[in-house]
Amino acid sequence: MQATRIGRTVGVGTRLLTRLVRRKAQQGADHIEKQAPVYKERGRRLGDGSRRFGLSIWRPFAHASRMLWLEITGLFFGLFTLFFAGNLWQLRANWQSGPAHQRFVLYAAITLVFAYFTVSSFLRAARQSRTHRKNQ
């Protein structure tokens, strides 16, 4: 068989196959366009369902984890507050003057900062709990 004859035979077959594929693709596109409203409605319902899922499952989980995080953070700040308050108590004799006066003032300042963090963390958790109950 000659090279030109093979090229013509393959070329004719390729053109016929291309027409067949185009025809089938057009028929498929027409079929999809007829069913588009059905799929659009299914997509809308899926979006509504996922939104409701988020409201019913994810939001309470996120709220509980946020509350737990605030309370655990407050607990750790409370432990640091107790540690620095214990050191402050040991240095209480040096509150006015003495060799450890600077350490006493430093421990007092750090104790107050960590006490503020402890209280504010628990207050924020309580406020979010009240807000969450109010919104339900």
pLDDT tens by residue, the chain, 136 residues: 555 565 666 677 777 777 877 777 777 766 666 666 667 778 888 888 888 887 888 888 888 899 999 999 999 999 999 999 998 888 887 777 777 788 888 899 999 999 999 999 999 999 988 877 777 6
- What is d(CA 120, CA 117) in angstroms, rounded to the nearest whole number? 5
CB contact at 8 A, 129 and 78:
no
- Cα–Cα distance for residue pair 87/94, rounded to 1 Å: 12
Is the pTM of the predicted complex or chain greater than 0.75?
no
Residue 125 CB contacts under 8 Å (≥ 6 apart), including other chains: 67, 70, 71, 74
State the alpha helices, DSSP H only, in the chain: 3-53, 59-90, 101-135
